[in-house]
Amino acid sequence: MLRTVLKPRWLGLLAFLLVVLVSFTWLGLWQLNVARDKGKSEAAEAATKLPVAPVSQVIRPHQQFPENGSGRPVSATGRYDAAHQLLVADRRLDGVSGYWVITPLVVEATGARLVVVRGFVTDPARATPPTTSGTVKVTGTLAPGESPSTSGTLPAGQVGTIDLGVLLNQWKGSLYNAFVFKTGEQPNATTAGIKPIPPPEIQTHGLSWRNAAYALQWWVFAGFAAYMWWRMVRDDWNEDRRTGTSPARERTTKEAHV
C-alpha cells in the first residue's frame, strides 16, 4: 500500500489535499467564531429588549444568578442604605480613572439589599450619599457579582471589586446575588457630581446555528476530500494487486528475468 501512496500522482494529489484540508479547516473555524459572535450579539440584543421587570421576579435573595440575567432590565423599589455606601476603586469611564459609587438598596418587597451602581466619580469626595432617605424606584440593568479583588489593602470605604460574598459579610442580612447598573430613579436621589455609567457590554453565551452549520459543512467537505483521496489510492492498490503490476511484483519479476 505504501508503494502505491508513493506514486508521483498520488503524492501530488496528497499535497493538494493538504492545502484543501488546511483551508477548509480554517474556513470552518472562521465560521464557528462568526457563529459565536453573532450568537452573543443576538442574545445581548434580546436581553435588552425584554420589558422592565421587578427584580424579585428575575432573581430572589441569595438565589443563583440566572443564566440569561446579564443585561436584563429590572426595577426595584426601596430605600437606600447610605450608611453602607462604598467606592469600587480602579475603574475607568471615557478613558478617565476613578471609582464606582455603590449603595445598597433595601428592597421593599423582600427586605434584602440590592447593590446599585449609582455612578462614577474621579474624586472620592464627590461621592455624595443619596439625597433622600425616602422610598425610590430604581431602574437599571442586572449584572452578576465580580471575582474577588486582587488590589491588596485599600482605604476604608473602598473595595477592589463588587464581590458579593465580601459585601454579605460586611452588611449582614439578606443580599441579592446580583447588582444593578442604575439607568434611572424616581425621585432622583443622585447629585450632579456623580456621572452616570452606561450599561456595559453584556457577557453572554450564544451560537448562531446557521453559521455553526456552515462551519460543520466546511469540515464535512474536508473529511470527504480526504476520504476520496484514500479511496482512489486504495482502488489503485487493488487494481495493481489484481493485474499483478504492483511495484513489488514488478521488481520481483525483473529480478527473476535477470
Q: Report residues of the chain scoring pLDDT below 50.
A: 254, 256-258
Locus of grid cell 473602598:
158
Amino acid at 81: D
SS3 230: helix
In eight-state DSSP terms, residue 82 is G
pLDDT at 251: 52
Q: Would you give the distance in Å from CA 162 to the centre of its chain? A: 19
CB 176 within 8 A of CB 162: no
Amino acid at 134: G
CA angle, 163 as apex, 162 and 169 as ends, to 5°?
A: 120
104 phi and psi angles, rounded to 5 deg: -75, 140
Q: Would you give the distance in Å from CA 83 to the centre of its chain? A: 35
CB 63 within 8 A of CB 177: yes
**C-alpha cell at position 122:** 474621579
pLDDT at 157: 92
**C-alpha cell at position 247:** 511495484
196-216 burial, b for 16+ CB within 10 Å, e for fewer?
ebebeebebebbbeebbebbe
Give me Rg for the CA atoms of the chain: 32
pLDDT at 149: 84
- CB proximity list for 225: less than 8 A, separation 6 or greater: 17, 20, 21, 24
SS3 91: strand
Residue 59 CB neighbour total at 10 angstroms: 20
Q: Of 165, 137, 164, 176, give the one whose Cα is nearest residue 58.
A: 176
Note the CATH number of domain 71-186. Answer: 2.40.50
SS3 41: helix
List Cα–Cα distances, 12 to 53, 85, 161, 167, in angstroms. 64, 72, 59, 67
Amino acid at 30: W
